[in-house]
């Protein structure tokens, strides 16, 4: 082979250097600043990242193209317009497909809108670099081994309703350590992919796709998320305090043997034992034979005098709730179910037709396919015959459904539709939230981005799932902005197992530390001492309701998940809190929930206490954080929580509606807001004293001093709900 001459080699090197220089010259960063952060756009391959104004990288750029159109990377980006409002960019992918991209960034909110030239269905993927910690995605993020979405096996999350385990959905993902979150609301196919190297957001829809990103501390992020979702019609509902009280459900206790008589007998038993039940769900079998929940007002033989039963419930101050679904059996019939076998004693050989389906079809209220044909879906659970689905996004459908529901003449619903609607999850939110907005109680299951009710329920659970599944689901709901969680009754499907009494009590403590707590099977076969501990979990929740409801109102007003705040969100700058691998959360700003869930049979767990002074709830033992209490004893009879933070807790006296305030010695001036249970009116308790043990408590509304008692590292005094207090 002829050797390369020196002149030829020089020419080759010159060309390589020139091409490298030209390529570098064509690559540049365009910066948009808001008050605290900078958005950096790298062209021509459209890579986006965010930095602090000091230049610290908060959100890294993708390692290659940051935008894909129909799975083809963007290879050229041309900025057409730059202004204070943002950028307009024309992009081209490797397939020569074009799109217009609009980028804005102001006051901690960035939007990126991609509008393909071809207005037919397009797949758009936006990519960022990897980040270490992520939470959210509703149910889609819950069925994993870890609360951290990035370290939990499968990294691709399809945001789709499967009619069973995944029914409340959100694309909201928060990266608490990076002061960053992202979300997209477009109807249609949605996917989020997370791993150590990248964060992908993908839509597959007609028209343009819009992505929203939030920069700031976590409270700012949730406030902006609330602002954006509200502007787009995803309305948060003011929580109703009644659903924070103790409830009771028929399913675990009675199955399909629910009747006017059996429900009344069970509630009488609980009432006689001093259980303060304030709502009750008769979830199944209340309708006439062959009917379903949407056979509105057609009571069956199990409830021969529903109005008399409701009057009895009213007399006991128990709100009556029924199971309700948004699927409609077609008119005509009868229809034979796919399978006649169901759990909990159901016998259903046929289902009659529902004449309301014809009315809804005439009004165009049902979900349709792309060809405009009403869709028929069959649940694998109930009623197992083809059904139409109410499309709550259709004008008038939500109010029509709410008005038909009133024929049942009850106080609220447990929504539990089990239909695989795929990407059409938005159809549930408006009809169910309409019932709550009109004054009744709602425990919701399906929906997206916001809870359609006061309580947001996860799927049917088992006691053993408290070791992982239940708390993961709870924490992902809270991280997604919906912290008023509920799973199932205490000791679900396990109360009659006398070998698992302690496990049932641990499960009950878990529920006692959340917004929703209910009972089912009465534990009359248990040992007397264990019955007393079970009752103590209920009493603890009863006392904590004013504090829990105050946290829920703060959540509603600010968007921040105060009712249940994961440690990694409450203490995002504390690396120990962020990486602590057991289930804990803050309730409000003063109570640290530490239920024994993992390895609950050991009676011990590791507890992480963030910086500050902390007191164990039962013993008053004092600790100073940050600290890990290794193999800490968690007695079955003790409330599994600590008090610290602001150190102010409003409680309710047992067997009474009277309130007390407990203020712990934490060594700093603080104040906390609370809300009345009846009307949600705000009141404030301020601590201005350096030493609470030698302080004066003043009701600032009456200007009168209030006497107090000293406890173990706290003072306690009676308060009048809605009035303000200062500790001087």
SS (H, E, C) 65-98: CCEEECCEEEEEEEEEEEECCEEEEEEEECCCCE
pLDDT of residue 4 exceeding 50, the answer is no
- Cβ atoms of 645 and 609 closer than 8 Å: no
Residues 52-62, mean pLDDT to the nearest whole number: 94
Q: What percent of the chain has pLDDT over 90?
A: 87
Over the stretch 415-435, which tens digit does the pLDDT of each residue have?
999 999 999 999 999 999 999
Over the stretch 243-264, which tens digit does the pLDDT of each residue have?
999 999 999 999 888 999 999 9
pLDDT of residue 542 exceeding 50, the answer is yes
Same domain, 148 and 257: no
pLDDT band at residue 27, thresholds of 50, 70 and 90? low
Which of these three, 559, 591, 624, is where a domain ends?
Answer: 559
Residues 120-130, mean pLDDT to the nearest whole number: 96
Q: What are phi and psi of 532, to 5 degrees?
A: -65, -40
Which of these three, 528, 559, 590, is where a domain ends?
Answer: 559
Over the stretch 393-402, which tens digit does the pLDDT of each residue have?
999 999 999 9
Residues 482-507, mean pLDDT to the nearest whole number: 97
pLDDT band at residue 605, thresholds of 50, 70 and 90? very high
Same domain, 153 and 205: yes
3 state DSSP class of 332? coil
Q: What is the pLDDT at residue 42?
A: 95
- What order of strands is seen across the sheet that includes strand 57-59? 28-33, 37-43, 47-52, 57-59
Rounded to whole angstroms, how far apart are CA atoms 622 and 612?
11
Same domain, 505 and 653: no
Over the stretch 663-708, which tens digit does the pLDDT of each residue have?
999 989 999 999 999 889 999 999 998 788 888 999 999 999 999 9
pLDDT of residue 13 exceeding 60, the answer is no
pLDDT band at residue 345, thresholds of 50, 70 and 90? low
Q: What is the pLDDT at residue 1?
A: 38
Q: What are phi and psi of 35, to 5 degrees?
A: -70, -30
Rounded to whole angstroms, how far apart are CA atoms 131 and 144?
18
Same domain, 95 and 41: yes
Same domain, 64 and 196: yes
Let me know if residue 603 belongs to a domain. no
What six digits make up the tokens of 368? Answer: 């349709």
Range name among 7-16, 25-34, 130-139 with the lowest pLDDT average: 7-16
Residue by residue, what is the 3-state secondary structure of 559-576?
A: CCCCCCEEHHHHCCCCHH
pLDDT band at residue 194, thresholds of 50, 70 and 90? very high
Rounded to whole angstroms, how far apart are CA atoms 193 and 201?
7
Same domain, 462 and 528: yes
Rounded to whole angstroms, how far apart are CA atoms 348 and 2?
89
Over the stretch 443-469, which tens digit does the pLDDT of each residue have?
999 999 999 999 999 989 999 999 999
Let me know if residue 534 belongs to a domain. yes
Q: What is the pLDDT at residue 694?
A: 83
pLDDT of residue 185 exceeding 60, the answer is yes
pLDDT of residue 555 exceeding 60, the answer is yes
Q: What is the pLDDT at residue 153?
A: 63
Chain-centroid distance, C-alpha 27:
42
Let me know if residue 389 belongs to a domain. no
The residue among 71, 63, 115 whose CA lies nearest residue 94 is 71
Let me know if residue 153 belongs to a domain. yes
Report if pTM > 0.75: yes
What six digits make up the tokens of 40? Answer: 């950096």
Same domain, 167 and 276: no
Torsion angle (degrees, nearest 10) of CA 34, 37, 39, 40 = 130
What six digits make up the tokens of 449? Answer: 């981005």
Q: What are phi and psi of 54, to 5 degrees?
A: -85, -5
Residues 536-558, mean pLDDT to the nearest whole number: 98
Q: What is the pLDDT at residue 596?
A: 98
Q: Give 345 or 70, the one with higher predicted confidence.
A: 70
Let me know if residue 585 belongs to a domain. no
Rounded to whole angstroms, how far apart are CA atoms 511 and 593?
11
Q: What is the pLDDT at residue 18?
A: 33
Q: What is the pLDDT at residue 381?
A: 87
Residue by residue, what is the 3-state secondary structure of 135-150?
A: EECHHHHCCCCCCCHH
pLDDT of residue 106 exceeding 90, the answer is yes
Region for residue 314 given its phi and psi (left: phi exceeds 0; alpha: psi -120 to 50; beta: otherwise): alpha
3 state DSSP class of 587? strand
Domain span including residue 201 = 13-231
- Cβ atoms of 202 and 191 closer than 8 Å: yes
3 state DSSP class of 558? helix
Rounded to whole angstroms, how far apart are CA atoms 304 and 289?
13
Range name among 15-24, 232-241, 437-446 with the lowest pLDDT average: 15-24
Residues 401-420, mean pLDDT to the nearest whole number: 98
Q: How many domains does the chain have?
A: 3
Let me know if residue 574 belongs to a domain. no
Find where tokens 């001459």 sit. 5
Q: How far is CA 509 from CA 36, 559, 682, in A?
A: 43, 26, 28
Which run of H or E residues covers position 263?
Answer: helix 260-272
pLDDT of residue 328 exceeding 90, the answer is yes
- Cβ atoms of 409 and 297 closer than 8 Å: yes
Find where tokens 């101050």 sit. 317
Buried b (16+ CB within 10 A) or exposed e, 342-365: beeebebeebbbbebbeebeeeeb
Name the DSSP letter for residue 691: -
Residues 377-382, mean pLDDT to the nearest whole number: 91
Let me know if residue 142 belongs to a domain. yes
CATH code where residue 226 lies: 2.70.98
Average pLDDT over the chain, rounded to an integer: 93
Same domain, 132 and 261: no
pLDDT of residue 9 exceeding 50, the answer is no
What six digits make up the tokens of 655? Answer: 């067997």
Which of these three, 165, 199, 231, is where a domain ends?
Answer: 231
Same domain, 212 and 284: no
Rounded to whole angstroms, how far apart are CA atoms 218 and 227?
14
pLDDT of residue 19 exceeding 70, the answer is no
Nearest-5° angle of CA 627, CA 631, CA 635?
110
Q: Are β-strands 485-486 and 455-457 bridged in parallel, bridged antiparallel, or unpaired?
A: parallel
Residues 596-610, mean pLDDT to the nearest whole number: 96
The residue among 35, 87, 43, 40 whose CA lies nearest residue 65 is 43
3 state DSSP class of 556? helix
Residues 471-497, mean pLDDT to the nearest whole number: 97
Same domain, 248 and 219: no
- Cβ atoms of 285 and 278 closer than 8 Å: no
pLDDT band at residue 83, thresholds of 50, 70 and 90? confident
Q: What are phi and psi of 543, to 5 degrees?
A: -65, -35
- Residue partners of 522: CB distance under 8 A and separation at least 6: 253, 266, 269, 270, 273
Q: What are phi and psi of 141, to 5 degrees?
A: -95, 5
pLDDT band at residue 22, thresholds of 50, 70 and 90? very low
Rounded to whole angstroms, how far apart are CA atoms 339 and 327?
18
Q: What percent of the chain has pLDDT over 70?
A: 95
pLDDT of residue 620 exceeding 70, the answer is yes
* DSSP codes of every residue in 487-554: ---TTTTTTT-TT-HHHHHHHHHHHHTSS-EEE-S--TTS-HHHHHHHHHHHHHHHHHHHHHHHHHHH
Same domain, 463 and 513: yes
Let me know if residue 584 belongs to a domain. no
Over the stretch 261-309, which tens digit does the pLDDT of each residue have?
999 999 999 999 999 999 999 998 999 999 999 999 999 999 999 999 9
Same domain, 91 and 204: yes
Rounded to whole angstroms, how far apart are CA atoms 254 and 39?
57
pLDDT of residue 6 exceeding 60, the answer is no
CATH code where residue 543 lies: 3.20.20.80
């Amino acid at each position: 082979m002829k050797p390369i001459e020196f002149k030829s080699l020089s020419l080759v090197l010159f060309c390589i250097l020139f091409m490298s220089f030209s390529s570098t010259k064509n690559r540049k960063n365009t910066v948009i600043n808001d008050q605290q952060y900078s958005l950096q756009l790298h062209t021509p391959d459209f890579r986006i990242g965010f930095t602090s104004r000091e230049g610290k990288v908060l959100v890294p750029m993708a390692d290659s193209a940051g935008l894909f159109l129909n799975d083809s990377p963007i290879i050229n980006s041309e900025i057409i317009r730059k202004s204070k409002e943002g950028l307009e960019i024309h992009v081209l992918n490797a397939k020569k497909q074009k799109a217009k991209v609009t980028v804005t960034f102001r006051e901690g909110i960035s939007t990126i809108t991609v509008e393909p030239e071809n207005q037919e269905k397009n797949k758009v993927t936006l990519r960022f670099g990897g980040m270490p910690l992520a939470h959210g995605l509703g149910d889609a993020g819950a069925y994993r081994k870890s609360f951290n979405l990035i370290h939990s096996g499968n990294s691709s999350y399809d945001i789709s309703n499967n009619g069973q385990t995944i029914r409340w959905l959100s694309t909201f993902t928060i990266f608490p350590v990076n002061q960053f979150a992202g979300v997209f609301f477009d109807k249609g196919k949605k996917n989020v992919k997370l791993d150590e190297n990248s964060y992908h957001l993908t839509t597959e829809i007609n028209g343009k796709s819009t992505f929203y990103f939030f920069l700031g501390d976590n409270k700012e992020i949730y406030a902006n998320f609330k602002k954006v979702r509200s502007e787009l019609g995803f309305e948060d509902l003011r929580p109703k305090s009644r659903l924070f009280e103790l409830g009771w459900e028929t399913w675990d206790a009675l199955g399909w043997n629910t009747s006017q008589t059996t429900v009344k007998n069970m509630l009488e038993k609980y009432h006689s034992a001093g259980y303060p039940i304030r709502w009750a769900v008769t979830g199944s079998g209340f309708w006439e034979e062959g009917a379903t929940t949407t056979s509105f007002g057609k009571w069956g033989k199990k409830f021969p005098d529903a109005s008399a039963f409701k009057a009895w419930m009213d007399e006991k101050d128990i709100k009556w709730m029924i199971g309700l679904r948004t699927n409609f059996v077609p008119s005509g019939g009868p229809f034979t179910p796919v399978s006649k076998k169901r759990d909990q004693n159901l016998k259903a050989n046929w289902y009659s037709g529902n004449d309301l389906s014809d009315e809804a079809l005439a009004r165009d209220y049902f979900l349709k396919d792309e060809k405009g044909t009403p869709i028929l879906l069959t649940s694998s659970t109930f009623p197992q015959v083809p059904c139409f689905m109410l499309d709550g996004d259709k004008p008038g459908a939500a109010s029509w459904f709410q008005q038909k529901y009133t024929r049942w003449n009850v106080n609220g619903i447990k929504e539990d539709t089990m239909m695989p609607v795929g990407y059409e999850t938005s159809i549930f939110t408006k009809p169910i939230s309409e019932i709550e907005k009109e004054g009744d109680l709602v425990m919701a299951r399906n929906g997206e981005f916001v809870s359609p009710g006061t309580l947001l329920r996860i799927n049917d659970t088992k006691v053993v799932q408290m070791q992982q599944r239940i708390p993961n689901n709870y924490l992902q709901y809270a991280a997604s902005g919906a912290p008023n969680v509920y799973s199932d009754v205490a000791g679900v499907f396990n109360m009659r197992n006398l070998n698992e009494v302690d496990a049932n009590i641990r499960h009950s403590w878990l529920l006692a530390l959340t917004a929703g707590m209910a009972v089912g099977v009465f534990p009359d076969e248990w040992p007397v001492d264990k019955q007393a501990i079970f009752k103590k979990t209920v009493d603890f929740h009863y006392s904590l309701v004013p504090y829990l409801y105050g946290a829920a109102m703060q959540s509603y007003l600010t968007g921040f998940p105060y009712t249940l705040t994961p440690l990694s969100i409450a203490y995002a700058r504390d690396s120990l809190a962020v990486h602590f691998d057991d289930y804990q959360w803050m309730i409000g700003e003063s109570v640290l929930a530490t239920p024994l869930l993992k390895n609950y049979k050991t009676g011990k767990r590791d507890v992480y206490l963030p910086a500050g002074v902390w007191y164990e709830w039962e013993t008053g033992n004092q600790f100073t954080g940050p600290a890990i209490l290794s193999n800490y004893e968690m007695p079955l009879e003790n409330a599994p929580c600590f008090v610290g933070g602001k150190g102010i807790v409003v409680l309710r006296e047992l067997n009474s509606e009277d309130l007390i305030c407990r203020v712990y010695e934490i060594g700093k001036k603080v104040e906390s807001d609370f809300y009345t249970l009846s009307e949600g009116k705000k009141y404030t308790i301020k601590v201005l004293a350096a030493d609470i043990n030698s302080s004066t408590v003043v009701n600032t509304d009456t200007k009168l001093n209030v006497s107090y008692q000293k406890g173990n590292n706290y003072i306690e005094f009676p308060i009048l709900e809605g009035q303000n207090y200062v500790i001087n």
